[in-house]
Amino acid sequence: MKFGLNFFPVFAPDRKTGAQYFREVLELSKSADAFGFEHVQTVEHYGTPYGGYSPDPVTLLAAIAAVTERIRITTGAVIPAFTHPLKLAGKLAMLDNLSDGRLDVGFGRGFLPEEFEWFGIPMDESRRRFAEGVEACRRLWSETDVVFDGEFSSFGPVTLLPRPIQQPAPPIFLASASSAESCAAAGAAGYHLQVVPSIVSHDELLEMLAAYRGARPENSSGRIQIKYTCYLSEDRDEALLRGEELENNYVALMSQAVASWAQTRSDQYAGYEKLIDKVRRYDFGKSLTDCKVLAGTPGDVAQQLASIRDWYGEDLSVSIQINPGYLDYETSERTLRLFADEVMPLFDSGNQA
């Protein structure tokens, strides 16, 4: 197993300013780099306390690249539907150069109705826009004099500049929320995979990973990033209290962000209207028992990770979110150091990038 650091800001401005949050992200990223974490990643969301502090992951990751040396820089994920592929491919190629070839590109489809409404994009187009955007970016990175004639964008002939350092293209990850079919498609295309276990059942996740691995080309192995929040302390009660508080904050703000699913239906998002009730039924204790959140002492978290490894495989890159809210920097730094010192060595399989 390998380990990375995930930033998904879920808090309102009265809790922490943008300037303060970004300073802390840079400092924690420097620590993760020094501690031997494999990657650091961040999300793309807009307009609400649920991820809205990260509307442009490329900007934040460029700043992180400037203060780190070896850790991989990962989008987790960018949303092609919201950006013209020529612009998105160019921004990401710049980031690959600024990071000296350390970029991993995660693409996501998006799932919040209000974000699509704000951009004036029908949700029913999201799957086709996603597939077209990924393919356009891949071609722009790996080919010259590209002529692209898609449903939503057409351009060329054009040769993208700058060229990515990583050739023929930076590693591409596709994010899948709950679909074994989309995981199989990612595997068949030779792409890597990003999943979030908190929003699917154990059996569903097993099915998704089996579909992905089964669809990979023969004799190839894809990289799988799996994301967990992590609350760690030498004092178990302290870790659990902090974890429950911050997870409840996360759930409250996510509930607000997904509320528009009560009035939204799309055949591209079958069953998402049930997301509201699913979020509201969240129970920290059950999530802890089911290993959907990591919390407790280093020994507790190591046992959880051992179960995750046994269930889902040793080829995982676990991306931990140590502060999904308004936690102070000092506590976040202690958590990161404790994880690096007492948990990571138990699963060491070459976390250095």
**In terms of DSSP bridges, do strands 192-195 and 146-149 run parallel, antiparallel, or are they unpaired?**
unpaired
| N-to-C CA span, the chain | 13
Spatial neighbors of 155 by CB under 8 A, at least 6 apart, are 86, 146, 147, 148
Q: What is the C-alpha separation between 62 and 92, in angstroms, rounded?
A: 10
> 68 with 33: CB under 8 angstroms?
yes
- In the numeric block, the tokens 């494999």 are attached to 38
Q: What is the pLDDT of residues 292-314, one digit of tens each?
A: 999 999 999 999 999 999 999 99
DSSP, res 257: H
Does residue 275 surpass a pLDDT of 90?
Answer: no
DSSP string, 274-325: GHHHHHHT--HHHHHHTTSSEEESHHHHHHHHHHHHHHH-TTEEEEEES-SS
- On average, the pLDDT of the chain sits at 94
Q: Of 185, 234, 227, nearest to 208 (Cα)?
A: 185
Residue 350's pLDDT is what?
Answer: 54
What pLDDT does 352 receive?
52
Count of C-beta atoms within a 10 Å radius of residue 24: 19
Asked whether the predicted pLDDT for residue 63 surpasses 70, the reply is yes
Q: What tokens appear for 12 in the block? A: 């309102």
Structure tokens at 95: 């980031």
Measured CA to CA, the distance from residue 143 to residue 39 in angstroms comes to 27
Taking residues 188-207, what's their average pLDDT? 93
Give the residue-averaged pLDDT of 44-58. 97
Q: Is the pLDDT of residue 189 over 90?
A: yes
List the structure tokens of 38.
Answer: 């494999």
- Rounded Cα–Cα distance for residues 51 and 89 (Å): 22
Spatial distance between the Cα atoms of 251 and 248, rounded to a whole number of angstroms: 5
Q: Which helix (H) or strand (E) holds 72?
A: strand 72-78
Q: Using an 8 Å Cβ cutoff, are 11 and 218 in contact?
A: no
Report the pLDDT averaged over residues 185-213. 94
Q: For residue 155, give the H/E element and its range.
A: strand 154-158
Token pair, residue 16, equals 């922490």
Average pLDDT over residues 249-253: 93
**pLDDT at residue 291 is higher than 70:** yes
Asked if residues 316 and 4 have their Cβ atoms less than 8 Å apart, the reply is no
